[in-house]
Structure formats: C-alpha cells, structure tokens
Structure 1
Amino acid sequence: MINNEDVTRLQDAVQLSEVRGRSLWQDARVRFFRNKAAVAGLVVLILITCFALFGGFIAQYEPDFVDFTLMGANAYQGVPSVETGHYFGTDIDGRDLFARTVQGTKISLLVGIVGSLVAVIVGTLYGATAGYIGGRTDGIMMRTVDILMSIPFMFVLILMLVIFGRSILMLFIGIGLISWLNMARIARGQTLTIKNKEFVEAAIATGVSPFVIILRHIVPNLLGIVIVYATLLVPEMIIFESFISYLGLGVQEPNTSLGALINAGASQMTNGTLWMLFFPLTFFLITLFAFFFVGDGLRDALDPKDR
C-alpha cells in the first residue's frame, strides 16, 4: 500500500530532479524573466526596434529621409499635430521630425549593435588566444592592449573621422575596433581559468589543435560573460556615437542620428521649440535605460554564484 506520505515524498523527489536537471541557460532564462525591470527593458527594446524598423511606414512626410523639397520658411509647420501629419512637429528646415527620429533611432541602434558586435568578436578571440597560449605571447599581446588603452579613445576616433572622412562606415570601424580592448582583458582572465579544466585537458590529450580548442571549448564557455558585456556595451557605443554627432563629426546630412537631432534641438531651445529636443532626447534616454536594465538582468541571471 502506498500512503499519502510516500506520494508526497515521491512528488518532492520529482520536483527536485527537475530543478537539478535544468541547464545553465534554462536556469538563466527562468531567473531573467523573474526580474521585472529586465523584462520591462526587453519589452521596451522590442518596441523601440519596431519603431525604428516600421516607423517609416507611418510617417506621412519624407519616407525616404532625403526629400528636401519641404525645406524653407514656408514649409515650417511648427508644433506637433496629428491633423497636419507632423506627429512630432518639424525641425527648423521644415522636415518632418517623426520621420527623422525614426531614422535617427535606426542609425543609433545600428551603430551601437554593430560596434559592440565587432568589439566583442575581436576582443573575445584576442583575449582567448592570449590566455590560452600564455607565456611570452600572452605578455606581448596584453602589453599591446595596455599601450592601446593608454591612448585617448575619443581623440583617436575624431582623428580617424577627420582623416578618412565622416561616414557611418568609419563610425562602425572606429568605435568597434577601438572598444574591444576591455573585452580582450575580460576574455583573457576567464580563459586562464577555463584552460585548466578537465575537458580542455582531454581535448589536448586527443590531439586537438589549439585553434580548434579555442573556438570549440574556450569561446563557448565565455558566452555568458560575453553576452552580458555586449548588452552593456551597446548603450556605451550609442553614447559615443551621439557625442561624436553632437560635435558635428558623426552622421552627415541627409542622414541623421539621435545625437545629431539632439544637437539640432538644443540649438533651437531659445526659440521655444522644445519638441525638437524633447522627442529625440526621450528616445535616446529610453533606449539607454532599457539596455542597462536588460544587461543588469542578464548579469544577475548568468551569475553562477546566485544560482
């Protein structure tokens, strides 16, 4: 006969086995979705991405962002209005601010994501290689990183834009290839611990080449910290791009970015046209906070000490 006490004990054992049987990624997913701030940030990011991708279909003016026929004093429509179709109003040249905010959000997200992706790929491979090989090679590679980190980042980026031209491509290259230094140091430190694990020693004993070990065994075990760092790096890239565009060295007309729109809006504050600054600045701040909340949630979810 099986009594109620045995049934309860069996249910507890099944639940315990399910908890123990969850992988790191399954456990991280559960922990992430329990973080209300992180989930809210993820929802906001999805909405902002949809706005950047599909907002141009809603804009009634300048769908291609290159129509300058509306420029001039007669085209100036003033305050935001649904009746005129200028949902965010117009800028000082009469261009629809809603359409330009859509394009600015898209370019800022693109610069942030592509820049952080380049930084993460280069930094992870560089740091993992230095940490795994070790010895004199590690010393030379990391001293090179130290020398590069001593050079002012913003000065180098501005110098590249002045020498090679101001374009979105140069922003991608400049921001991405300079911001990988911190990622390289993080990946190298984690690799020093991982390379002494049993599965790495087993791969070495079976004759696997160092390059394959780095790609198949070292880098996959760095994905947790790499994802967290990449999430926190995107808003940093957006801030850099916005600052460069604010100085007038970033995205050039007819294209625009949130930094360029904020710069244009700030210059018109004395005229009482606060909406030119309000809408781009609002999207800029919301995007930054959303990325920070998601990155903080991923950091807590992937931290093995908090499992």
Structure 2
Amino acid sequence: MVDTRYDKAGELAAEVTDYTAVRGRSLMRDARDRFLANRAAIFCIAILAAIVLFVVVGPFFAVWDFETIDWVAMGDVRTLGAPSVDTGHFFGTDDLGRDLFSRTILATSTSLIVGLIGATMALVVGTAWGVIAGYYGGRLDSIMMRIVDILMAIPTVLVIILILVVAGRSFTTLFIALGAVSWLTMARIVRAQTLALKNREFVEAARAAGVSEPAIIVRHILPNLLGVVIVYASLLVPDMILAESFISFLGLGISEPYTSLGALISEGAGTMAYGTLWQMMFPLGFFIAIIFTMFFIGDGLRDALDPKDR
C-alpha cells in the first residue's frame, strides 16, 4: 500500500513555492491600475501634456517676440490685429500691437510655474507643520494649531495683496505670498491623518522596538500620508492658478512686460466690446483647460488612492 501523505505534501509544497500562485498586488500597483482605468483622468493628462508641449515647443514657431510691437497692426487692431497666419500673429495681437501667441505662451508658462511652486511650498510647509503638531500633540499641538486658526481667520486675498504691496511685485514675492496662505488647509488635513495613525499597531510596534521618534515619522507616518498628500497637492495647483489669476485680474500680479493668463484675460475683457474677442478667447481657453484637467486628474488620483474603494 502506497502512503499518499508524502505525495500530498509535495503537491502542497509545489503550490506554495509557485511564485505565480502567491504573488500579490501592491497598493501602489493597484492604485496605478485603477488610475489608468479612469478614462477622464487619462484624457486630461493628455490635454495637460499637450499644453506643456505647446509652452515648450511654441516659441520655436513664434514669428514675433512677446515684447515686440507691430506698429502696422497697432494702427487698426480690430482689422489688422486679427488672428492671421500671413502676418505671423496666429492668435492676433493685443491693443499695443504685441503678438498674442507669444504672450499666451509666456502667460501659460507663468501660471503653470506659479501653480506648481505655490503647491510645492504649501505641500512642504503644511505637511511638516501638520505632522509635528499631530504626532507630538499636547501643548505644542495647541499652540501650532491656534496659529493656523488665526491665520485662516484672515482673508486670503487680503494677505496676498498686503505682501505684494509691501514687498513689491515680482515672481519671488508672488510665490512667497501664495505659499504663505496655501499651507494652512494642508496642515490641518495632515494633522488629522497623523492623529489617526500615531496610535496604530505598526507605530506601537516601532516604538517597542526602540525606533526613534523622527525615524517613526519618516518611515511610518509620512508614507501612510502619501495618498492624501498627493491628492490634495493635485487639487492645490488649480487653486494656486486661480488665486494668481484673480490677483493679476485686479492688476496686482505679474508686472509688465511679463504676463499671466489672469492678466491677459483682464486685458481681453476690457477690449471685448470693441470687437477684439480673440484677445480674451485664447487665454481664457488655456485657463479653462488647465483648471479642468487638474481637477479631473486630482479626482482620478483620489479615486485610485482611496482605501475605501479597494
């Protein structure tokens, strides 16, 4: 009689050692697959990539510089300044005879840079502030969060305008002004997530193993905050662009000869009644495209990284 116990054990060992049988799916891979399945987010990424490509490659096709004045078109902007391939003004000209194609490229790059740098500053400052306040708690948490509450009680636009008026209008000042008010919400979100994580089992196990507090924050707390931080950062970029555009619309943003999408939209809105609709149409189109694509990408990241949907 043949003992089948060894045969069954061998089959079981073969199944367990089979790599394809026990290979799992990481959370990041699962999130990636979920994000790639979101057609709206992928389509918006393609549109945003086309806008970035336009900013990078567009200057090589521009006939006119963003500062050069076409004196002929300036004489009759409504007729001679209209969009035309023959004159080299693909998007037309503004009231001063400057090429709107080159100025739209400059304005789009400015708005994208302002959005990315402003969101990055808010990301770094807000994450650090929220993690420290939430993890250490106690009196330090109370002091830090009361500072946040006081700053949030002050109107955001008022703070930005005061900084620009006192420090002067420049790229650096604009970045500082936007970053100074944009990290507050990020700090509160990160603090709330840190409070929920710092008493979890894996953190207690790290403490029992003798891991230092800074190491626990870097190795255990921050990686688990990655999903929330990425989603909010992606939604923060259009907020920065909207804030900068509103400041430029008020005439307190980027100073001439440089420009942004908000400044171009403001100039186009002022001359729209004279039949020069293209002066607002092209900048407004790029502005709407950037805002909508960033919101859809952020929504796709939220759906992909949300643990409740797994």
Same fold (TM over 0.5): yes
Once residues 74 and 225 of structure 1 are traced to their aligned partners in structure 2, the CA distance between those partners, rounded to angstroms, is: 54
Q: Which residue of 2 is the match for residue 281 of structure 1? A: 284
Once residues 243 and 261 of structure 2 are traced to their aligned partners in structure 1, the CA distance between those partners, rounded to angstroms, is: 11
Q: Which residue of 2 is the match for residue 5 of structure 1? A: none
Query: Are the equivalent residues in 2 in contact too, given 1:265–1:274 (CA < 8 A)?
Result: yes
Is 2:59 aligned against 1:22? Answer: no
Q: Deviations over 1:176-230 (max 9, x none)?
A: 1211000001000111111122332233233333223222321121110101000
Q: Which residue of 1 is the match for residue 303 of structure 2? A: 300
Query: 1:69, CA displacement in angstroms?
Result: 7.0
Once residues 70 and 197 of structure 2 are traced to their aligned partners in structure 1, the CA distance between those partners, rounded to angstroms, is: 60
Is 2:38 aligned against 1:35? Answer: yes
1:88 pairs, out of 81, 91, 101, with 91
Query: 1:68, CA displacement in angstroms?
Result: 4.7
Query: Are the equivalent residues in 2 in contact too, given 1:119–1:180 (CA < 8 A)?
Result: yes
Q: Which residue of 1 is the match for residue 3 of structure 2? A: none
Is 2:195 aligned against 1:192? Answer: yes
The one-letter code sitting in structure 1 at the alignment partner of 2:309 is D
Change in CA separation of 1:271 and 1:298 when aligned onto 2, cut-off 3 Å:
same
Q: Which residue of 2 is the match for residue 146 of structure 1? A: 149
Q: Deviations over 1:13-34 (max 9, x none)?
A: 998855xx11111011111111
My pick for the range that moved more, 125-134 or 213-222, is: 213-222
* Structure 2 runs not aligned, ≥5 long: 1-14
Larger radius of gyration: 2
Query: 1:249, CA displacement in angstroms?
Result: 0.2
Change in CA separation of 1:82 and 1:197 when aligned onto 2, cut-off 3 Å:
same
1:262 pairs, out of 243, 262, 265, with 265
The one-letter code sitting in structure 2 at the alignment partner of 1:66 is E
The one-letter code sitting in structure 1 at the alignment partner of 2:98 is R
2:159 pairs, out of 153, 156, 166, with 156
Q: Which residue of 2 is the match for residue 122 of structure 1? A: 125
Query: 1:71, CA displacement in angstroms?
Result: 8.7
Once residues 71 and 171 of structure 1 are traced to their aligned partners in structure 2, the CA distance between those partners, rounded to angstroms, is: 35
1:220 pairs, out of 218, 223, 235, with 223
The one-letter code sitting in structure 1 at the alignment partner of 2:275 is G
Is 2:205 aligned against 1:202? Answer: yes
Query: Are the equivalent residues in 1 in contact too, given 2:169–2:255 (CA < 8 A)?
Result: yes
Query: Are the equivalent residues in 2 in contact too, given 1:75–1:93 (CA < 8 A)?
Result: no
1:48 pairs, out of 46, 51, 54, with 51
Query: Are the equivalent residues in 1 in contact too, given 2:106–2:258 (CA < 8 A)?
Result: yes
Once residues 28 and 76 of structure 2 are traced to their aligned partners in structure 1, the CA distance between those partners, rounded to angstroms, is: 54
1:239 pairs, out of 215, 239, 242, with 242
SS at match of 1:86: coil
The one-letter code sitting in structure 1 at the alignment partner of 2:241 is I
Once residues 155 and 217 of structure 2 are traced to their aligned partners in structure 1, the CA distance between those partners, rounded to angstroms, is: 31
Q: Which residue of 2 is the match for residue 3 of structure 1? A: none
Query: 1:259, CA displacement in angstroms?
Result: 0.2
Is 2:63 aligned against 1:60? Answer: yes
CA-atom RMSD in angstroms: 1.9
Once residues 104 and 35 of structure 1 are traced to their aligned partners in structure 2, the CA distance between those partners, rounded to angstroms, is: 30
Query: Are the equivalent residues in 2 in contact too, given 1:104–1:258 (CA < 8 A)?
Result: yes
Q: Which residue of 2 is the match for residue 6 of structure 1? A: none
Query: 1:258, CA displacement in angstroms?
Result: 0.1
SS at match of 1:219: helix
Name the count of aligned residue pairs: 292
Once residues 160 and 170 of structure 1 are traced to their aligned partners in structure 2, the CA distance between those partners, rounded to angstroms, is: 7
SS at match of 2:89: coil
Query: 1:47, CA displacement in angstroms?
Result: 0.8
Q: Which residue of 2 is the match for residue 136 of structure 1? A: 139
Once residues 71 and 218 of structure 1 are traced to their aligned partners in structure 2, the CA distance between those partners, rounded to angstroms, is: 63
Query: 1:74, CA displacement in angstroms?
Result: 4.2
* Structure 1 runs not aligned, ≥5 long: 1-9
2:178 pairs, out of 175, 178, 186, with 175
